[in-house]
Structure 1
Amino acid sequence: MTDFPFDTIGFDLDGTLVDTAPDLCGAVNHALVQVGRAPVTPEVTRQMIGGGTRAMLTRAFERTGGMVGDGEFTTAYDTLLAYYEQNTSQHSAPYPGLLAALDQLAASGSKLAVVTNKMERFARKLLDELGMSARFACILGGDTLGPGRAKPARDMIDEALRQCGGTRFAMVGDASFDVRAARAAGVPCVVYALGYHDMPVAELGADAVIEHFDELVPSLEVLARSR
């Protein structure tokens, strides 16, 4: 039994655990160039991440001239996935202070879970290549549970609790998908202010906002006392 107020902590991946935008930008641009579109910058890519790869590519097309037909989109999507599978972690890295915060939570007895809309095979590959997979009791991707069950649905939070054997969950993320899933599950959500946001941080409705992972454990302790 953990002494920490939350026995299970779920983490989003892109923009929360790991700054993946440089590698995602490379994959998006590879797909865009193949169909004659202009590339986007890493900063623009950060604004497009969230909701899974299809959503990211859709936003990329909208940013560079408008949506394409289904056939062209499928070709570009497959091109993006193939490129990303070969270039998953070349320039991606965990955020400052993240690993120390994970160590602190693990030492408290809390189990850690990855709850991401990224496809599970890419989430596992990324975490394996960064040497982070062993830190997590479960890794759930947007396709793990099937259609309609990714964030902002609560299903992955429920499944993370089931796999971790916990009863007291907190979510850590960076976007509305994380906050809405937490709300649906009736659990608190901490937002990382330097992540990838689909709306202004102040409008996300998070229970707490941190600017460095040194703040995570104290913020969770404060949230536990207020609930």
Structure 2
Amino acid sequence: MWHIGAVSILLLDVDGTLVDSLPGIRAGFLHTLDEMGWDHPSEEFINRIAGPPMEITLQNVGMSPEQAREGLAIYLDYTARGGWADAQAFPGMLELVREWKATGLTVATATSKGEGFARKILDREGFLPFIDFLGAAEEDGPRRSKTAVIDHVLASNGWEDQTSDILMVGDRSHDIEGAAHFGIDTTAVTWGYGTPDEWAEARFTAHTPKELEGIVNDWLHVRHSTRG
């Protein structure tokens, strides 16, 4: 690992990148549909629901914005009553985040998961001590999209003019597109919930945590060489 002097920042997605949260998200989604009397979509659709804000997913099954807001309330209630706990760290990711912090990297999250639920999961799975800033969506507020979350992270830390010092790590197209809005490069990880077409939008692609470690090392090396 590189030991660095200049500030370098990793912006990490949570669902599908650090933790496998699909089981809980899936159960909450289906519970919401059942409560509202909606048919279940295909398993192919369900397997892609982790990542985007739930109200967007509900609109994608045909709900109006008003119905989706009603559904979001049902989903958040289910999650608060224990659905959040049905998640676990992907093998190797806690160790990698720990190494990044030991190296001197600044580590922040940028997740569309609600802040309270993200904090609970990351705390239980052991990530929280190695995260400098917990960037997340609001459960009940306007900060819901990935772009809004990243904007919140940048503004809260005064990083608006340091986007060349930031590398986003995520698994879905909204991670890549949200980061690109601010001129931030992304590494797509393939153990999450995205597709090859989504990963193709990223600058880098990692198939294993070990490969991700190498990509981050190379990124640091290029930055070090450029500034040296």
Shift of 1:198: 6.7
Give yes or no for the alignment of 1:210 onto 2:206.
Answer: yes
CA distance in 1, matches of 2:87, 2:5: 30
Contact 2:88 2:125 in 1 (8 A): yes
Which ranges in structure 2 are unaligned for 5 or more consecutive residues?
Answer: 224-228
Give yes or no for the alignment of 1:96 onto 2:67.
Answer: no
Q: CA RMSD in A?
A: 2.9
Q: Which residue of 2 aligns with 1:169?
A: 166
Structure number with greater CO (CA < 8 Å, separation at least 6) is 1
**Residue of structure 2 aligned with 1:114, choices 109, 115, 128:** 109
The 3 A distance-change label for structure 1 pair 141 and 74 is same
How many pairs does the alignment contain?
216
Q: Deviations over 1:52-84 (max 9, x none)?
A: 12112323xx1xxx32572x4433221111001
**Residue of structure 2 aligned with 1:189, choices 177, 186, 189:** 186
Q: Which residue of 2 aligns with 1:26?
A: 27
The 3 A distance-change label for structure 1 pair 4 and 14 is farther
Please give the TM-score of this superposition, normalised by the length of structure 2: 0.80
Contact 2:135 2:153 in 1 (8 A): no
Give the secondary-structure state (helix, strand or coil) at the position aligned to 1:83: helix
**Residue of structure 1 aligned with 2:121, choices 112, 123, 126:** 126
The 3 A distance-change label for structure 1 pair 99 and 27 is same
CA distance in 2, matches of 1:106, 1:13: 17
- Percent identity of paired positions between Structure 1 and Structure 2: 25
CA distance in 1, matches of 2:43, 2:129: 29
Give yes or no for the alignment of 1:219 onto 2:220.
Answer: no
Give yes or no for the alignment of 1:3 onto 2:4.
Answer: yes
Please give the TM-score of this superposition, normalised by the length of structure 1: 0.81
User: How do residues 11-90 of structure 1 correspond to structure 2 at under 5 angstroms?
Assistant: 11-39=12-40, 44-59=45-60, 62=61, 66-68=62-64, 70=66, 72-90=67-85
